[in-house]
Amino acid sequence: MAVSNIKANFQCDIQKVWDVVTSIHNYSWRSDLSKIEISGKNQFIEYTKDGYPTTFTITCTEPCKRWEFDMENSNMKGHWTGVFTEKDNYTEIDFTEEVTAKKIFMKPFVKMYLKKQQELYVADLRKALP
Domains in the chain, ordered, with CATH? 2-128 (3.30.530.20)
* Distance separating alpha carbons of residues 71 and 8, to the nearest angstrom: 22
Q: What is the pLDDT of residue 77?
A: 97
User: Residue 61: what pLDDT?
Assistant: 98
SS (H, E, C) 109-126: HHHHHHHHHHHHHHHHHH
Output the pTM of the full model.
0.93
What pLDDT sits at residue 33? 97
Q: What is the pLDDT of residue 20?
A: 97
Q: Per residue of the chain (130 residues), what is the pLDDT tens digit? A: 999 999 999 999 999 999 999 999 999 999 999 999 999 999 999 999 999 999 999 999 999 999 999 999 999 999 999 999 999 999 999 999 999 999 988 888 999 999 999 999 999 999 999 7
In this prediction, residue 130 carries a pLDDT of 75
